[in-house]
Structure 1
């Protein structure tokens, strides 16, 4: 069965998934990478769009809306007494040199660029990327310098975005393999309860396909920007149920 049919069957059929426990590990690993790529497509789309649109918005704001400031010794300084919030179309720019805005408050933000006292943040699609001013070392940054820097970054987005996408993919794939490995341990418990003669390498393969349904479901929710209450618990519950039903489909007399 090719990988596309496996993907389709894994969405609803524990009986078909059960047949995959004897296939080569290489094909299973390839499936996990493909599943990971599908799961991050909404994040990549929204993050890339936000980065491109946000770069245009912040360049305009630096020229027209932001007060004079200076970033030196890892800290931004201005004459503002309160944070300044600028709304540009569907994008929000938060400018705060007072330390009032806490980075934890930004977790609920969407399509936001925040220039805070010690760090800058880009938030989009549930993903947050931060840059510490301390990375500037001894470099001093002002409005004029920032305009030049933003122009350089804007012209380099064609390189920056693919690099960020690769990083997101690697990190997400790492978490996905970790999730599958933990799920496979539960598979050993299920195989004892169901008296099925399989080993960890088999439960790992089955776990890789059992996470397909919850992974795709939450990818769809991300694509329509819908937050699912207790999403993590729901994800694990569905994956565990799929794995249990899959192992249940393996005949008890099945050998290694």
Structure 2
């Protein structure tokens, strides 16, 4: 059966998921990689566009809206006597050499860069990175150096973006495979409760297809930029329910229970 047909049937048919248990492990792993690939596309897209927009906006703001500054001895120095807060096209720049703004104040934004007294905070699609100035104790960095660094990053984007996608994809694939292994152990418990004749390899294959509904749902929500409360709980609940329904479709171990 075509892998995309399997994906479609896994969205609504526990009976078909039960039938997939006899296929090879290799084909199932390939399916997991495909499902993971599709699931990371929205996040990677928004993360990449946010990153590119952030670099572009930061470069323009450094040139036009922020005062000259120096990062030396682990601190940000400038002539500004109060924090500067700039919103531009859904992107936020917070510049504070006074120490009044805390990193948590930057984290609450969807896409932002905070040049704070003791550290820089980068937020892209709610993903936060911190860079403490004390990591460069013997370096003196000026606004001109930062602009030069940003220009270098811009020139490396054709290399950086594929690497970023690859890292996200590999991490997501590993997480998905580990989750399926754990779900397959739940499948063994359900097998005993329902008195079905299944081995771990069967519950693993069925688990790989049982996570399809939850994965596709969260992929759509990510594409729509819609927040879903308690995502881990929903994912595990839906996956276990689908696996339970699929195992019910397997013939019972004891013929007289059929």
Q: Same fold (TM over 0.5)?
A: yes
Instruction: Name the counterpart of 1:78.
Output: 78
SS of the equivalent of 1:156 reads: helix
CA contact (8 A) 1:125 1:225 kept: no
SS of the equivalent of 2:214 reads: helix
Superposed counterparts of 1:1-256, under 5 Å: 1-134=1-134, 136=136, 138-253=138-253
TM-score by length of 2: 0.90
Distance, in Å, in 1 between the alignment partners of 2:133 and 2:196 is 57
CA RMSD of aligned residues (A): 2.1
Asked which structure has the greater CA Rg, the reply is 2
Q: Unpaired runs of 5+ in structure 2?
A: none
The C-alpha deviation readout for 1:52-81, integer Å capped at 9, x for no partner, is: 111110001111112222223444333445
Moved more, 107-116 or 170-179: 107-116
Closer, same or farther: CA 132–249 of 1 in aligned 2, 3 Å: farther
Q: Unpaired runs of 5+ in structure 1?
A: none
Distance, in Å, in 1 between the alignment partners of 2:65 and 2:53 is 17
SS of the equivalent of 1:113 reads: strand
CA contact (8 A) 1:40 1:169 kept: yes
SS of the equivalent of 2:198 reads: coil
> How far 1:101 sits from its partner (Å)?
3.9
Closer, same or farther: CA 49–182 of 1 in aligned 2, 3 Å: same
TM-score by length of 1: 0.90
Moved more, 191-200 or 116-125: 116-125
Corresponding pairs, count: 254
> How far 1:142 sits from its partner (Å)?
0.6
> How far 1:197 sits from its partner (Å)?
1.6
